[in-house]
A and B are shown apart, each in its own frame.
Chain A
Amino acid sequence: MKIRQFTILLILLQGILSAQEWNGFVEFSLSPKFSQNKLIQSVSAVPANGRYYALGEQRLQLKFEHASDRGDLFFKIDFINDNVLENTKLDVREAFFTTTPVEWMDLKIGRQIQTWGVGDLMFINDVFPKDWISFFAGRQDAYLKAPSDAIRFSLFPGLSAIEAIDISLMPFAQSDLNLMTEGRFASRDPLLGQLLRDGRLTPTQTTSTEWNNAELAARLQLGAVKGFTTALYTYKGRWNNPLAMRLDSQTFTFSPYFAKLQVYGASSRGAALGGIVSVEGGYYYSEEDENGDNPLIPNSSLRYLALYERSLTTTLDIGVQYYGEMIRNFSSIEKNYQLLLAGNLQLLDSEAFKD
């Protein structure tokens, strides 16, 4: 962890010192909460200001750029004074080096924002980290995308059938900044449905620097056919949220963790019906709960979306989006839930409880 921070700092310094160009902005944000929920006020981890404000901060963003024959360096750093959490922090949003070592390949190394898929603020094959706190607290939309530390290869085979192949290797698995992690929002215990009194859910298993936590995301972009571009995706890593629970049979306590996940999907987008039509689907294969009978691990699911966008007037566009999820082995979830209601834990349809 320390090596990682040191390396980033070193690259940062190098970048700042050599930057050919820099610019940025200063931003003041405030979003008050209009209803003071007594329940939320009873949560100890919600900071004093957090009871009245979802957001209250001053942000300075600086961007540095340095282009050379060998490649380009880019840095984007936010300095934040946060009045809700009552702290100041430095957030390196982007710090990468990008180069074209051979004509048919682009390389991007470092902290970067990664996005793919065709949904509008809905993500299926995009399993890159998201910052839900920023999204719900009301920061700019761009902050929904959290950066990931990655080595990204983009290959351009020069064939009409294949437009590009992107392979992103993330050595340190990264998770979403979900609403449970900061204490800015009160959240519920996913298992008991009660408000978490300390306001936070701390996953036992960190997804940091262990090599077996490395994640891989890949996309194959096919050449356009009749104006429609189609892509195939795959991902192998972990769920971005600690949706799975591990049971300590000694103390009979549950602790959340990031279960293993594989995603296989496809998308297509093109001009049709007087606008832009996009479709995307993906199969979320929950490796650790193959049969879907473990109530402590999310089941596999099929996710899909369809989006239609068109311009209505010269300055107004509209978009309509449909999103769906089909959870596999849903009957097991129902059965487990019934048993849970009946308090009959021993009969739960799962290996996890049969020790």
Chain B
Amino acid sequence: MKSVKTLIVTLFFLASSSGLFAQDAEALMKEAHLNYNYAKDDGKAKVVMTIVSSKGSTKTKKFTMVRKDLQDGGDQLYFIYFKAPSDIKRMTFLVKKHIDRDDDRMLYVPAIDLVKKIAANDKASSFVGSDFSYEDVSGRSWTEDVHELIGEENIGELAAYKIKSTPKKEDYFTYKISFISKKDKLPLREEYYDKKGNLTRIFTAEKLEYIEGVPTITVRKMENIAKKQYTQIEFVSIKYNIGVKKKYFSERYLKKPHAVLK
């Protein structure tokens, strides 16, 4: 009896690794999207962002980022409290991510007590001056692309599915190749291509850790091929399910951030 069970398990592993039970590419991308962007109900992390230019000079920004999901795979709230460098310290930034319309983005500049609404018509616009776009930070919905499983490959030591995603409507990239880890269903690498088939941007998951049991990519890198520069985002002191209230994501707390947001 025991040997039969072992045989079935062995067969299952063989089958899955050889791609016999080819996963539905769309379901896989949805799972990866939820794992990567909607872990638990909320999360807080201290972020160290390093922008490395083509000449090798570096700029470092430090901030605290708090996320709250209003619905899994749906609307989200992000609050960013800047800590360094000195000239942006105490600045705050609020993003209300909407699925059905443009996001709301609001920046507060304490030095002049200014609440500024930021144009959000371009989801590819640079996130706080980095190589990451807003969409890279808050995630691109799987429903915007057509997905196709085109193979399997190892990224480092991790086995991954290779998926080609083509936007349904014309977008800032023509297609994207993603490598989704088989074990945790998280994106390990993404390659963005333009019309001519040139590689324009590369995302890599540099470090994967288990935080409160949640597989989390704690070091993320985005490389801009044309500009020959890259940005690395490191998440430290990550906490999930901190129970942050929805009301903290408002203009009142933008100007006077609650301790939980700092």
Contact = CB atoms under 8 A, between A and B. Distances in A.
Nearest to B129: A315
Contacts of B146: none
Contacts of A23: 86, 89
A309 B113 CA distance: 20
B252 interface: yes
Interface string A101-135: 00000100000111100000000000000000000
B111 A113 contact: yes
B104 A310 contact: no
Given A23-B89, A271-B119, 10 more contacts: A142-B112, A227-B104, A270-B117, A271-B120, A275-B119, A275-B121, A310-B119, A310-B121, A311-B122, A311-B125
B252 A227 contact: no
Interface residues of B, number: 27
Nearest to B110: A113
Contacts of A179: none
A145 interface: yes
B252 A24 contact: no
25 contacts: A23-B86, A23-B89, A24-B86, A25-B87, A76-B111, A106-B252, A115-B112, A145-B112, A154-B252, A227-B101, A271-B101, A271-B117, A271-B119, A271-B121, A274-B121, A275-B119, A275-B121, A310-B119, A310-B121, A310-B122, A311-B119, A311-B120, A313-B122, A313-B125, A314-B125
B241 to A, nearest CB: 24
B184 interface: no
A82 interface: no
A163 interface: yes
Interface residues of A, number: 37
Interface string B223-262: 0000000000000000000000000001110001001000
B4 interface: no
A156 interface: yes
B119 A164 contact: no
A244 B158 CA distance: 76
Contacts of A200: none
A276 interface: yes
Contacts of A144: 112
Contact of A145 (B113, B118, B121): B113
Interface in A158-184: 163-164
Interface of A is mostly: strand
A119 B125 CA distance: 23
A156 B251 CA distance: 11
Contacts of B251: 163-164, 221
Contacts of B119: 271, 275-276, 309-311, 317
Nearest to A76: B111
Contact of A276 (B109, B117, B250): B117
Contacts of B104: 227, 271
A314 B136 CA distance: 13
B256 A314 contact: no
B243 to A, nearest CB: 18
A301 interface: no
Contacts of A271: 101-102, 104, 117, 119-121
Interface of A: 23-25, 63, 67, 76, 98, 100, 106, 112-115, 141-142, 144-145, 154, 156, 163-164, 221, 227, 269-271, 274-276, 278, 309-311, 313-315, 317
A315 B87 CA distance: 20
B1 interface: no
Contacts of B87: 25
A176 B55 CA distance: 44
A314 B102 contact: no
Nearest to A308: B119
Interface in B122-155: 122, 124-126, 129, 133
CB-based closest 4 A-B pairs: A311-B122, A115-B113, A142-B111, A274-B121
Contacts of A270: 117
A195 to B, nearest CB: 33
B114 interface: yes
Contacts of A106: 252, 256
Nearest to B114: A115
A315 B117 contact: no
Contacts of B102: 271
Given A164-B252, A271-B104, A25 B86 contact: yes
A98 B256 contact: yes
A145 B129 CA distance: 25
Nearest to B131: A314
A182 to B, nearest CB: 21
Contacts of A309: 119
A314 B121 contact: no
Contacts of B112: 113, 115, 141-142, 144-145
A142 B86 CA distance: 14
